[in-house]
Structure 1
C-alpha cells in the first residue's frame, strides 16, 4: 500500500460533532453547522454515513452514501436555497 505524498490532497473536511440538533463540519479553519431543520436528509441516518464526507472541490462537500452535495454558500445561507430534498420513509 502506498501513501499519498504529503501536500497532494489539500481538500480536507471532517465532521466534528453530531447532536440531536444537527452536525458540525470543519473545513480548513471554518466550522459550519448544518441543522436538521434546514438539512433534513442527515437526520435519522447511521453515523457512518454522515462521517463519510468528501470535499470534491474547494468549498463543495459530497456525502456519497446519502447522495447529498452542498456548498459552503448553501450551508451558510439556506434561506437563499429553499428547495429541500424529500425524505422517503
Structure 2
C-alpha cells in the first residue's frame, strides 16, 4: 500500500496499455478497458497524466492531473452512465 503526498491511503493500480482505441488499467488482477468512445477525456492527454492514476478505495480510480474520477462499475458498464461531457 502506498501513501499519497497528502497522507491518505491508496491501493495499487497501473495503466498497462495505451492505444489509439483506449486505455487498459490493471487493478487487483483485473484488467479494465476504457475506449475513448466512452471515456473521451483521456484522448489526446499527456502520457504522464494518464499514467498518474491512484486507487483511492477498492474500485475507485482517480487521475489527479486530469481531475478524472471513475469507479470500476462505470468502466465496466459505461452504457449505464451515459452522461459524457467533453
When the two structures are superposed, what TM-score results if normalisation uses the length of structure 1? 0.84
Mapped partners of 1:74, 1:28: distance in 2? 17
Give the unaligned 5+ runs of structure 2: 4-8
* Matching of residues 75-86 of structure 1 within 5 Å: 75-86=75-86
What's the offset of the Cα at 1:10?
7.1
Q: Distance in 2 between matches of 1:73 and 1:10?
A: 18
Alignment deviations for residues 57-88 of structure 1 (CA, whole Å, 9 cap, x no partner)? 110000001100000000000000000122xx
Question: What's the CA shift for 1:11?
Answer: 1.3
- Structure richer in strand, relative to its length: 2
Size of the aligned set, in residue pairs, is 80
- Unpaired runs of 5+ residues, structure 1, are none
CA RMSD between the two structures: 1.7
Counterpart of 2:35? 35
TM superposition outliers: structure 1 runs of 4+ over 3 Å = none
Please report the TM-score for the alignment, with normalisation by the length of structure 2. 0.87
Q: Which residue of 2 aligns with 1:50?
A: 50
C-alpha spacing 1:80/1:46, structure 2 compared with 1 (3 Å) = same
